[in-house]
Structures are given as structure tokens and as C-alpha cells.
Structure 1
Amino acid sequence: MVRVRVRQHVNPLAQKYQSVPQPLEWDKIFAQPHQPLHLDIGCARGRFVLQMAAIEPTWNFLGLEIREPLVIDANRVRDEQGLTNLHYVFCNANNSLKNLLKNLPQDTLQRVTIQFPDPWFKTRHGKRRIVQPQLIQEIAEYLIPGGMVFLQSDIEFVQQEMCDRFTENPAFLRENQQWLAQNPFPVPTEREIATLNKGEPVYRTIFRRVTS
């Protein structure tokens, strides 16, 4: 199989990433569309949700990724493994999330993960970072009361900025004031494994959707 070289970073503000996909047809992408949904934003190659879908068949998993070749390959691997509770979508989550989830079965979105997002180190590139106030508000509209948002990064200022922005939204409450020592999920991401193998820290936080 020929491996396609995929850019590690893409500018989400570029014109080519401004198109918005159609709302998802949940009964076509999942065998059991009313199962609890785990949304992974910025899933990269999708190996985290691939493994999670295999070990948690009573959950559905949706991975969003802005690099289309990675999504094509991830859906190919899903099909090879015969997983009917997993789907990947090529999109820019910052302008697509609300439309994608428009017809989501009620009270199914229960977990959201944003893991090791592109840090965009330069201050002038801050608007390119994935966690923006509008995205947080859209997550709040669909996540069930008590639902989890799990954030992690190997860059402390990125993690702190994500935490600050979720804290600013009254729909969310931070569960742990200190960085979590352990990942609450049984599957680490590829970036997480690489970071820990280098002996470097990972910064983790859980937020909960406030109960109305």
C-alpha cells in the first residue's frame, strides 16, 4: 500500500476548509444510532476511537478531523475491522459542528474529547486553535447534563487556554483543579504514548456539563 504524505498542520482559516458538510444521517452511519455517543474532535488517524469502539460496543464513536486523507484511511480501517459503531468525518469542527449534529438523537452525546490539538505557538495564530468560545457553546447545546469533556495536551499553555475558555462558559464546571495524573480512558492516544515515553508531562482536565 502506498502511504500518502499528509501535512501535520493545516490552517483551519484557509478558504478550502470553510465548506460545511451536511447534517449526519445517524441511522446510516451507526447500526444503533440511539446508543450513547462519544465525540472526538481532532482525531488525527483515529486510532484512539478505533480502539475505544472495539472495547465499548454499546457506545457510538464519532471522530472529526480536518485532514481528509487521514479520514479516508481511518474509515477504511474501520471497515476492515467491521465496526458499526464508529464513523469519521472530514471537516473543520469550528464551522461545522452545529450543522453536523443538527439531527443528533436526543440525549445521546455524553462524552467529548479534545486531545493534543495543534498548539499554533505564535500569538497571532491564536484564532487557529481548535478550542474557541463558539465551539464550546455548540458542545454545550448537545452534551447531556453531567456529560464529560476531557481535554489533554503536552503543551501547558495550550491546556491552560482550553481550560480557561471552558471555565468562562457557565454551562461547564471543572471537575479537577489540579492536572489529572491519569487518563480516565483505557486507551491512550499515539501522541500521549510518545510524550510519556520521552518522560515529558501530559496535562489533563475534565469538565462536566452543568445540570440544568
Structure 2
Amino acid sequence: MRVRQHVNPLSHQFAQPLQLPDWQLIYGQVQQPLHLDIGSARGQFLLRMAEQLPNWNFLGLEIREPLVHQANALRINHNLSNLYFLLAQANVHLAGILASFPIQVLQRVTIQFPDPWFKRKQQKRRVVKPDLVAVIADYLQPGGDVFLQSDVLDVALDMYHHFQRHPQFQTQGEFLAENPLGIPTEREQSVLRRGLPVYRFFLRRRAD
């Protein structure tokens, strides 16, 4: 099934509030640390993470509805009780999503290869903005991690600088040569097969 590559995140359809699930019914152990992946696409990355780290919970946010359905079907097929995918626009819905958890368990955030929206007039559609960073800072536990990567240098730097400017985040070095999580996304594999560079940054939430 062909899926639209670009969905306008500013569309009025994403202004509607979400009907959120009961996380205690979704996750077998809701108190486990939570890894949030913003822009989870087909979910292959989180699927592999969830299989390798059963003592973590994983939540993928994606704005392309067919991909969310596919990813959740894959989750069910693999019988994983530590993984879920949600149709959501992170800039609109993230605070409500994280506030709906019975306890605050967010320990890691990944934003990988987001839509670059190259045209200047479209850059307001990019996912990483100051308000999103502020929400992540509010809910990410002290010492929690943020991992960013893109094959577009301007996009990688734009994401990095938004986090770097927030007082609650400290950088962990400059560009990373390798993915510290050890599991590549499908896009990452494609880029590396073509011998192209990937620009990666790692930041940490300061201790309160």
C-alpha cells in the first residue's frame, strides 16, 4: 500500500483532541522507563528496540494514519506488551499524551530523519520547535536522553540548536560518528548503504 510521504502537520485535522488509551491496559508494566519516538514511520526501529529491551516501554508517534495501523498490527503480531503506536501531531498532542500517564516515566526521546521541509515558507512545519522542546524538558526525567539524527545537515543542526538553547539540556559532545542505540531506522540504513553521511546529536536532561 502506498502511503503519502508528506502530511501537513498544520492541517486542521490535527487540531482535534485525542482519545487516549488507558496506558495501564496498553503496557504490561506501565511503571517501566518509557522511550518516546517522534515520527515512528513503519515502526521497525521501535519493534526491534522493544524486542531487545523488554524492561522498557516504547511509544511511537506518527501523523500518517496508515503507518500507525501497520505498526500496531506488527506489534500485535509480535505479541509485544511494551510497545504502542499512536496517531498524533507531537507539537499539538505531546503534553496531553505525557500527562495522561499515571506516573511520569519518560526516560528517552528520539527524533530521527524528520521531514526536512526544505522550502523556507514550509519550515514552520518542522517538528522540532521551542514549544516541543519545552514539553519534553517538562516530562523527561532528570538524566534522561534525547537522540537526534538526520541526513540533512541543516535539519540536524536546527533540531540540535533548539534543544541546546533550552537551559534543561546539556550536550554530550558534537556530532556522533555512530548510532549509540545500536539499532538503525530504515531511513538510516538506506542512507548508509548509499555512502552518505548521517548527522547525529545526543543531549541529556539536567538533574533538577
TM range (shorter): over 0.9
Q: SS in structure 2 opposite 1:192?
A: helix
Letter matched to residue 48 of structure 2:
Q
Structure 1 CA distance for aligned equivalents of residues 197 and 80 of structure 2:
33
Aligned-pair RMSD on alpha carbons?
1.0
Counterpart position of 2:115: 118
User: How does the TM-score come out when normalised to structure 2?
Assistant: 0.97
The Cα of 1:171 is off from its aligned counterpart by 1.1
Structure 2 CA distance for aligned equivalents of residues 62 and 156 of structure 1:
26
Structure 2 CA distance for aligned equivalents of residues 182 and 105 of structure 1:
35
Q: SS in structure 2 opposite 1:173?
A: strand
Structure 2 CA distance for aligned equivalents of residues 199 and 105 of structure 1:
44
**CA shift digits 1:90-133 (9 cap, x unpaired):** 01111000011113243411000000000000111111000011
Q: 1:166 aligns with which of 152, 163, 167?
A: 163
Q: 1:39 aligns with which of 36, 40, 47?
A: 36
The Cα of 1:20 is off from its aligned counterpart by 2.3
Q: Is the 8 A contact 2:175 2:199 kept in 1?
A: yes
The yes-or-no answer on 1:154 pairing with 2:151 is yes
Q: Is the 8 A contact 1:20 1:91 kept in 2?
A: no
Letter matched to residue 89 of structure 2:
N
Counterpart position of 1:209: 205
Q: 1:75 aligns with which of 72, 75, 83?
A: 72
Structure 2 CA distance for aligned equivalents of residues 24 and 165 of structure 1:
30
Q: 1:180 aligns with which of 176, 181, 184?
A: 176
Letter matched to residue 80 of structure 1:
N
Q: Is the 8 A contact 1:40 1:63 kept in 2?
A: yes
Letter matched to residue 53 of structure 2:
E
Structure 1 CA distance for aligned equivalents of residues 177 and 102 of structure 2:
34
Structure 1 CA distance for aligned equivalents of residues 139 and 102 of structure 2:
10
- Which ranges in structure 2 are unaligned for 5 or more consecutive residues? none
Q: Is the 8 A contact 2:49 2:183 kept in 1?
A: yes
Structure 1 CA distance for aligned equivalents of residues 194 and 35 of structure 2:
29
Larger mean CA deviation between 27-36 and 103-112 belongs to 103-112
Percent identical: 52
Q: Is the 8 A contact 2:39 2:114 kept in 1?
A: yes
Q: SS in structure 1 opposite 2:99?
A: coil
Counterpart position of 1:191: 187
Structure 2 CA distance for aligned equivalents of residues 196 and 168 of structure 1:
30
